Copies of this chain bind each other. A is one copy, B any other.
Amino acid sequence: MSIIKSFDKLKEELVKKSVRKKVAVVWAADDSTQQAVAQTLSDGFVEAVFVGYVRELQELPLLLPHLDHITFIDAATPDEAAEIAVSLVREGKADVLMKGLINTDNLLRAVLNKETGILTRGNVLTHISVAQLPAYDKLLLFSDAAVIPYPTHEQRIKQVEYAAAMVRSLGIDEPRISLIHCSEKVNEKHFPHTAGYKEIAAMGQAGSFGRCIVDGPLDVKVSCCRESMVTKGISSPIDGQADVLIFPDIEAGNTFYKTITLFAGAQTAGVLQGPNAPVVLPSRSDSTMSKYNSLAVAVMSLTH
């Protein structure tokens, strides 16, 4: 497989692979979810299980051509739909979980339920975004812009592990993962997390995350621009070509996410990793395209 450097190429590779993954969609009552799923059905890499809002979906002209690849499961409420969809994942009957028109907290409650949920002990629920930036020559993953406010050292290790796996699914054998901080200096007193960064970089070198390059602390610019790295006299094996940025906290991660979409023309996708299946959990304002790309990223992450 060649390296996937854009969302167009991602779709192309998924079509070429001719795999179909089962996606359980919770209460798909909104247009953009319906359209995004219909497009993945049309492109042939998804088998949809619509849970809830069934009567309306069964009559949707958009879905009629794909009925061979659709299952409908009835549910009385969005919350019940969430429980059913989660149980499908737990029983191995769905590969991906996708949020429709249901409150995020309610869906996550079903995912995280200790008895009936799908987060195995020792795993961590974290959000990984994928960005396509006009000013960067490959896809750039980052975590966490949405879920974990202030990651612990252990959670950060999991973020690196999950992100590395996702980058490999894009055809990159040796992911470059940059641990972001405002400076390249470790400063245990004022920035306690930076000491942990060195440990995680050492784990990377020791092979804890498979073949990959992990370094930090580095700032966003040094991570993604070789010239900036050289100008600042910094030497890093990331070499200004990061595939992944791990942000110190949600404030920095969210700032990055909002800034690239508003000011840098970025297209983005996002999934939750950690649970037994990737979870596509779009924001209320995400476009059909973003939901489609998120679903494509989730499916691709299962094919490596």
> What are the 8 tightest A-B residue pairs by CB atom distance, in nearest-first order?
A182-B254, A220-B258, A263-B264, A221-B258, A251-B252, A264-B264, A231-B285, A252-B255
Closest to A225 in B: B262
Cβ-closest chain B residue relative to A251? B252
- Taking Cβ atoms with an 8 Å cutoff, the residues of A that contact B are 133, 135-136, 145-146, 149, 180-183, 190-191, 219-221, 224-225, 228, 231-232, 247-256, 258-266, 284-285
A255 to chain B, nearest CB (A): 4
Copies in the complex: 2
Return chain B residues, CB-CB under 8 Å to A221: 258, 261-262
Q: How far is the CA of A136 from the CA of B191 in the complex (A)?
A: 32
- Is A219 touching B256 in the complex (CB atoms < 8 A)? no
The interface residues of chain B lying within 8 Å CB-to-CB of A232 are 284-285
A259 is contacted by which of B182, B220, B284 (Cβ under 8 Å)? B220
- Among A133, A135, A191, A221: residue with most chain B CB under 10 A: A221
**Highest count of chain B CB atoms <10 Å: which of A225, A250, A252, A256:** A252
Q: How far is the CA of A62 from the CA of B262 in the complex (A)?
A: 41
How many Å lie between the Cα of A247 and that of B190 in the bound state?
18
What B residues does A145 contact at CB under 8 A?
182
Q: Tell me which of B219, B252, B262 contacts A252 (CB under 8 A).
A: B252
User: A228-B285, A231-B285, A285-B228 given as contacts; is B259 within 8 A of A256 (CB)?
Assistant: yes
CB <8 Å contact, A255 and B149: no
Q: Nearest chain-B residue to A191 (Cβ)?
A: B149
Kindly list chain B residues whose C-beta atoms are within 8 Å of the C-beta of A254: 182-183, 219-220, 252
Kindly state the separation between the CA atoms of A191 and B249 in the bound complex, as whole angstroms.
Answer: 11
In the bound assembly, the distance between CA atoms of A232 and B284 in angstroms comes to 7
Are B259 and A149 in contact, CB atoms less than 8 angstroms apart?
no
In angstroms, Cα B232 to Cα A191, docked, is 33
* Interface contacts beyond A133-B263, A180-B255: sample of 7 additional A-B pairs, CB < 8 Å, sorted by A: A146-B182, A149-B190, A231-B284, A249-B251, A256-B259, A263-B263, A264-B264
